[in-house]
Amino acid sequence: MKKMRFIVFTGLFLLSMNVLAQDSNFHIYLCFGQSNMEGQGKIEEQDKIVDNRFQVMQSLDCSTPKRTKGKWYTAIPPLCQCESGLSPTDYFGRTMVKHLPDSIKVGVINVAIGGCDIRLFDKDQYHNYDRTHKERWFTSKIANYNGNPYLHLINLAKLAQKDGVIKGILLHQGETNTGDSLWPKYVNKIYNDMLVELSLNSNDVPLLAGEVFSGNNNCCSEMNEIINKLPEVITTAHIISSQGCPGMDNAHFNSEGYRTLGIRYATQMLSLMGYQNIPDKK
């Protein structure tokens, strides 16, 4: 009996230590998708000036910039892979800390694969979608995530939960799934799997999903009609418009486009938190 009481006491003590270590003022956002979430925009001098209240958990070991997987750094781009560019996450985080109280920090974790089908992030189907492109650049990116980008993101998220609280999930994906009416269903499964594995409640952790590039000569804007159906399947999903966000080619935004899109993600999240009248442009 004494041994049992000791085990229970020890468990409660360790649990309380974990809660105490977690900073409720450190708001964490999980980001995933394909090439636009990776970030293809040119990183300019203005993008290198970052408030240290905006942090990124490094998702891969990199020599340039020199960063270690699983560690927090001031969120100077690139925020996804070692050689990725400016992405929506950059100005999402900057806008969040700009309008939140000084006591709050914001952290992002970005795991994305250019050219991927959304089902590469389905924990039960990912192995069927890791060879949709035969090119080495595609397979090597997946290999960098230990062959399973979803699990890689979940493991980083669990590590991050020791430091702060997950407040939302950002998605930018759809170009590869253009025309697939089942896309909202695929996203719903992935979102729910994330919530279960991370012990999160959908009412506390909304899903923000961005439209694909919709400018002139675009490849995939017809997908936006499908993306906009997502809230019919996920009641806590919110769609981020890409209208007016300029591009660099027929699929990707340019730096200005990423800045605007990132601010729009933040504007939506801040609105859900009760902050109103936030400009949606830099």
CATH code assigned at 62: 3.40.50.1110
- The pLDDT of residue 236 is 98
**Phi/psi class of residue 199: alpha, beta or left (left: φ > 0; alpha: ψ in -120 to 50)?**
left
Whether cis (ω within 30° of 0) applies to the bond prior to 246 is: no
- Alpha-carbon distance values, 8 to 2, 3, 51, 243 (Å): 10, 9, 43, 56
pTM, to two decimals: 0.92
∠ Cα 114 92 159 (to 5°): 75
* 277: in domain: no
Residues recorded for the chain: 282
Closest CA to 23 of 105, 100, 99, 98: 105
* 188: in domain: yes
- The pLDDT of residue 138 is 95
140 among known catalytic residues: no
pLDDT, tens digit (0-9, with 9 covering 90-100), for 152-161: 999 999 999 9
- The pLDDT of residue 131 is 84
- The pLDDT of residue 8 is 43
The number of folded domains in the chain is 1
pLDDT, tens digit (0-9, with 9 covering 90-100), for 68-121: 999 999 999 999 999 999 999 999 999 999 999 999 999 999 999 999 999 999
* 2: in domain: no
Which of the residues 124, 181, 249, 271 is marked catalytic? 249
* 68: in domain: yes
Q: Over its length of 282 residues, how does the chain's per-residue pLDDT go in tens digits?
A: 555 554 445 454 444 444 456 999 999 999 999 999 999 999 999 999 999 999 999 999 999 999 999 999 999 999 999 999 999 999 999 999 999 999 999 999 999 999 999 999 999 999 999 988 878 999 999 999 999 999 999 999 999 999 999 999 999 999 999 999 999 999 999 999 999 999 999 999 999 999 999 999 999 999 999 999 999 999 999 999 999 999 999 999 999 999 999 999 999 999 999 998 777 766
Q: How far apart are the first and last CA of the chain?
A: 63
- Across the strands, what pairs with 168? 29
Complete DSSP assignment for the chain: -HHHHHHHHHHHHHHHHHHHHS-TTEEEEEEEESHHHH--B---GGGG---TTEEEE--S-EETTEE-TT-EEE-PSP-SSTT--B-HHHHHHHHHHHHS-TT-EEEEEEEE-TT--GGGG-TTTGGGSTTSS-SHHHHHHHHHTTT-HHHHHHHHHHHHTTTSEEEEEEEE--STTTT-TTHHHHHHHHHHHHHHHTT--TTTS-EEEEPPP-STT-S-TTHHHHHTTHHHH-TTEEEEP-TT--BSSSS-B-HHHHHHHHHHHHHHHHHHTT-----S--
- The pLDDT of residue 112 is 98
Which of the residues 27, 35, 84, 130 is marked catalytic? 35
* 3: in domain: no
What residues make up the domain containing 213?
23-272
* 35: in domain: yes
* 76: in domain: yes
Which of the residues 27, 133, 172, 252 is marked catalytic? 252
- The pLDDT of residue 89 is 98
* 241: in domain: yes
- Alpha-carbon distance values, 40 to 59, 121, 193, 248, 280 (Å): 17, 20, 28, 9, 21
CA dist., res. 270 & res. 248, Å (int): 28
35 among known catalytic residues: yes
Residue labelled with tokens 């899109």 = 261
Closest CA to 41 of 254, 234, 275: 254
252 among known catalytic residues: yes
